[in-house]
């Protein structure tokens, strides 16, 4: 139920803002709006105010604003309050405002999230100098070593660890050329990221030069008895280097009932401490809380707006790069998400708190705004594209030509919809088990 409510909330806000953009632009230019609907299909709730009927419809996967004289087939009187009676520039303003409102919503919501502040990984904005290579990972097989500074991924510059994770994450199961700097000399290697999580995010198995930190020790537990203290930096377990919190927890968990040797750093001194995790259920536990090095991020309101604009510009570039990679086969279509996956993410984000939910909303809103600007007939960008071509040709296309263009756009969208729905279904384990070609 929480997943459904979170999904309806996120989608409802995004659709309302998009259609409200069209609605306000039409009203401002004097175009009569007949219907403002959230959802498609049969109307569940409706009321009329002036010339406009406002309604909520049964299928909550979009919405629409119906304007007088919007289509050539509509009854027309030639009055100035009909959509097709307005100039191309005025129609462009009405069409563009839906996507623009989604992009503005992404900026506003992201600024609201950023101004709350957060604890972010200390390495996130640092250059991607390899601190550890996971055993058996694509990076190890390719020959990447600790100390290598990764410079480019598939020809794209990567300045930070965040850039690296984004560049690799969209290229699962694809051979990727990585340029790195080793001992001052550039080298180029080919790595094939492996897909992880149900969204098949690519990972090559390199980690930053950090170590997990003991945040606190529970009184009377094995960790305290062994002499571990809050502030200890865990360097290794049984000689295996520890980089992330998850690594340390996993190393302890699989060693229930068996003594382990922890190499720690305490105030600049390196110590070796032996401890035996207690077996509790299916995992071993030492009785300590672990964290990773972080820094406090707390911008002011104006700084949050500036950072939001910058991040949305960066994410926009990533979206277009990903679309380009899809077209040339560098990015797997498996990473496309449909309504089921969005609903799952909405539910998970809602459980994590409103900040996670609003961050997801900002991301989807930006995607929705930009994708609607693509020159695909049926989308807002498609209508704008047709008007632009008509303006260049200095004549309007015939209805037959427009119908063929709209049909091509519809077929393309249906193919995309089939792809994302298939992806969504394969992310549901019991449905995937019914697909023999997936097993």
Q: With beta carbons less than 8 A apart as the criterion, state whether 6 and 349 touch.
A: yes
- Among the listed residues 19, 70, 200, 292, the single catalytic one is 19
Q: With beta carbons less than 8 A apart as the criterion, state whether 163 and 128 touch.
A: yes
Is 19 a catalytic site residue? yes
Q: With beta carbons less than 8 A apart as the criterion, state whether 286 and 222 touch.
A: yes
Nearest partner of 141 among 182, 192, 71, judged by Cα: 192
Could you list the active site residues?
Answer: 19
């Amino acid at each position: 139920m929480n997943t459904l409510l979170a999904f309806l909330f996120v989608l409802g806000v995004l659709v309302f803002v998009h259609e409200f953009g069209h609605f306000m632009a039409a009203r401002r230019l004097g175009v009569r709006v007949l219907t403002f609907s959230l959802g498609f299909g049969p109307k569940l709730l409706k009321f009329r105010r002036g010339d406009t009927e406002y309604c909520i419809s049964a299928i909550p996967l979009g919405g629409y604003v119906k304007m007088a004289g919007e289509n050539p087939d509509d009854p027309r009187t030639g009055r100035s309050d009909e959509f097709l009676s307005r100039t191309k520039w005025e129609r462009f303003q009405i069409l563009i405002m839906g996507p623009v409102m989604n992009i503005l919503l992404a900026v506003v919501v992201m600024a609201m999230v950023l101004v709350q502040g957060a604890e972010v990984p200390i390495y996130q904005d640092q250059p991607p100098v390899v601190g550890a290579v996971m055993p058996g990972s694509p990076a190890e097989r390719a020959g990447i070593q600790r100390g290598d500074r990764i410079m480019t991924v598939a020809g794209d510059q990567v300045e930070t660890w965040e850039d690296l994770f984004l560049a690799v994450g969209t290229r699962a199961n694809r051979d990727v050329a990585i340029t790195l700097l080793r001992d001052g000399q550039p080298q180029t290697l080919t790595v094939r990221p492996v897909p992880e999580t149900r969204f098949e995010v690519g990972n090559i198995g390199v980690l930053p030069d950090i170590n997990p930190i003991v945040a606190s020790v529970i009184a009377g537990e094995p960790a305290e008895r062994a002499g571990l203290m809050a502030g200890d930096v865990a360097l290794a377990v049984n000689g295996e280097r520890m980089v992330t919190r998850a690594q340390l927890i996993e190393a302890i968990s699989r060693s229930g009932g068996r003594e382990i040797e922890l190499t720690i750093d305490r105030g600049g001194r390196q110590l070796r401490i032996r401890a035996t995790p207690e077996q509790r259920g299916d995992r071993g536990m030492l009785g300590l809380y672990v964290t990773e090095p972080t820094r406090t991020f707390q911008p002011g309101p104006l700084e949050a707006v500036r950072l939001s604009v910058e991040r949305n510009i960066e994410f926009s570039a990533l979206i277009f790069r990903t679309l380009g990679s899809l077209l040339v086969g560098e990015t797997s279509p498996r990473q496309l998400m449909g309504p089921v996956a969005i609903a799952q993410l909405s539910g998970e984000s809602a459980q994590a708190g409103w900040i996670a939910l609003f961050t997801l909303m900002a991301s989807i809103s930006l995607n929705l705004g930009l994708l609607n600007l693509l020159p695909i007939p049926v989308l807002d960008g498609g209508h704008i594209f047709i008007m632009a071509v008509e303006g260049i040709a200095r004549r309007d296309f015939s209805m037959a030509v427009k119908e063929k263009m709209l049909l091509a756009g519809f077929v393309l969208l249906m193919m995309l919809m089939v792809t994302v729905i298939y992806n969504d279904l394969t992310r549901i384990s019991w449905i995937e088990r019914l697909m023999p070609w997936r097993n």
